[in-house]
Amino acid sequence: MFERKGTIVNRTPEKDPQDWTTGDEPMTGPQESYLHTLAQEAGEEVPGGLTKVEASQLIDRLQEKTGRGA
């Protein structure tokens, strides 16, 4: 993000995971690794067979629970 004449412009706007064209594909390796780290900290299990969208949503929830969220 940067500021231009008092307006903040986000060069990489977040897209709703439900709108991802590849959201129904299996989660990525980095998502799986990060999920396991977060789940361990949160005392939870990571369900198998998550899609990219499901993994993203679980990451958001676990980040909030563990205090790692922005």
pLDDT by residue (tens digit) across 11-68?
Answer: 555 666 667 677 688 999 999 999 999 999 999 999 999 999 999 999 999 999 999 8
The total number of structural domains that make up the chain? 1
Write out the two tokens for 11.
């060069």
Q: Cα(43)–Cα(13) distance, rounded to whole angstroms?
A: 32
Write out the two tokens for 14.
């977040």
| Boundaries of domain holding 31 | 26-42+50-69
Residue 38 located in a structural domain:
yes
φ, ψ of residue 68 in degrees (nearest 5): -90, -10
Q: Is the model more confident about 70 or about 51?
A: 51
Provide the pLDDT for residue 24: 84
Residue 3 located in a structural domain:
no
Residue 56 located in a structural domain:
yes
Residue 61 located in a structural domain:
yes
Residue 18 located in a structural domain:
no
Provide the pLDDT for residue 4: 57
Provide the pLDDT for residue 70: 63
Provide the pLDDT for residue 68: 86
